[in-house]
Amino acid sequence: MSQHDPELEKNDAPLPCQNENPEPAAEPVDPPPSEEVPAALQDCDSPSSEDVPSPEQKKRHPLLTLLVLMLVICFGAGIYGWYEVRNFLDTAPETPGHSIIIDIEPGMTLTQVSERLETQGIITDAQRFQLLARWENKGRSLQAGRFLLNTGWQPAQVLDMLASGKSMLYKLTLREGLPWWNVAAILEQEGFCKAEDFAKVIRDPEFLHHWSIPFDSAEGFLFPETYLLPHPRELDMAAARTVADRLVEMFWKQADKIWPDGRPAQSDLKRLVTLASIVEKETSVPSERARVAGVYTNRLKRNMLLQADPTVIYGMGPDFKGRLLYKHLDDKKNPYNTYQNPGLPPGPICSFGSAALQAALAPEDHKFLYFVATGKGREHTFSKTLSEHNRAVQEYRAIMRKKK
């Protein structure tokens, strides 16, 4: 008896839908030829992998946009900044402007100066003014002092004025013939220093030594002139020293023109400046200066008393007022009394000009020993003898009586 193989039976089973007499197979039909697609359409419809942006490229696009945007912003800011700078440099705070006095104190920083200028309306922007000063290398060149500025000025003009040190100047006029105490009073009145400080300075031994003054004061060396000086911030000893320096400096500047070959010896200097001060007080007529100097030179040579009224008045000091009396001429205690003391007085009696010094240096050569006012003007009558002089005095007194 045979055994059945299950697998074999399974394979031998008839296939479904299988006929014994199959129909002939249909001939294969070729597919219709495909139409060729243009390359341009292929690129659009079917992009290649090379044309598709990579993730890294996609990340770069925002960065590039941001960079361009930043450049545009920076360019615009630069244009705006340049416009603002030019507007600051070219525009004054006011048109028309007005003058303002500004005090720049020693030790002030550029920032402090700029802020003060802005507060006073001289500039419109303190920070931009500081930048301008640094750009011009003038940040450390600003000078202390009192300046007359104007709100109609552009910033560069303000900066130039402060850096130049051309502080506000005031006129000081000292005429010829003033004694030191009158000079001191004028200085105090005009706001340059205190009179008492000035008196101390012109007697200070260090000051006198510095300026080669051979007396116990600077009387006679306070040169009469019209000065332009700044007002000090404080009326102290430094202010008095500053103005005294200026006056004596001017004296030597003018005197050195008279002595181009060098200054005279100290003894000659004392004689010349003292005589020049007497000439200055005795006459204001230019043509008489050398003649008056000749009179006193002749009297000194003959050992005659000078008998110069101005020296007596000077010796009585600043408190003297009124007329000169005989009792004043008889006062032997007055060291400047040339009616009692022989020779020149101890020192100059006033500030004198260059013309008086020139007259003392080159007195007129004549034989006159006396002179008195004519009473008709500023001129004097000069005499060779005492009798001639007495007649001239009588004529003068007669004219003066008629004027009363």
Q: CATH number of the domain at 152, please.
A: 3.30.1490.480
Q: What's the pLDDT at 25? A: 47
**pLDDT value, residue 85:** 62
Full DSSP string of 280-337: HHH---GGGHHHHHHHHHHHHHTT-----HHHHHHHT-TT--S---HHHHT-TT-TT-
Domain that holds residue 193: 170-258
Residues in the chain, pLDDT under 50: 1-26, 34, 37, 39-45
**Could you tell me if 254 and 274 lie in one domain?**
no
Report if residue 141 sits inside a domain.
yes
Residue 380 lies in a domain: no
User: Do the domain assignments include residue 105?
Assistant: yes
pLDDT for res 385: 97
Residue 208 placed within a domain: yes
Give the model's pLDDT for residue 17. 41
What is the per-residue pLDDT for 346? 97
Give the whole-angstrom CA distance, residue 341 versus residue 250.
Answer: 32
Structural domain contains residue 390: no
Q: How many CB atoms lie within 10 A of CB 302?
A: 8
What pLDDT is stored for residue 55 in this prediction? Answer: 60
Backbone angles phi, psi at 228, to 5 degrees: -120, 110
pLDDT of residue 145: 84
Joined together, the tokens standing for residue 365 give 């050569």
pLDDT number for residue 232: 87
Of the residues 124, 147, 164, which one is the last residue of a structural domain? 164
On whether both 245 and 332 belong to a single domain, the answer is: no
Residues 270 and 356 in one domain: yes
| Helical ranges in 165-223 per DSSP H | 180-189, 195-201, 205-210
Number of domains, the chain? 3
Asked if 244 and 275 sit in the same domain, the reply is no
State whether 180 and 195 are in the same domain: yes
Same domain, 132 and 222: no
Domain for residue 39, yes or no? Answer: no
93: in domain: no
Residues 356 and 278 in one domain: yes
329 shares a domain with 246: no
Are 193 and 251 found together in one domain?
Answer: yes
Is 14 within the bounds of a domain?
no
206 in the same domain as 186: yes
At 274-323, the pLDDT tens digits run 999 999 999 999 999 999 999 999 999 999 999 999 999 999 999 898 88
Instruction: Give the pLDDT of residue 292.
Output: 98
At 247 the pLDDT is 97
Q: What is the pLDDT at residue 378?
A: 92
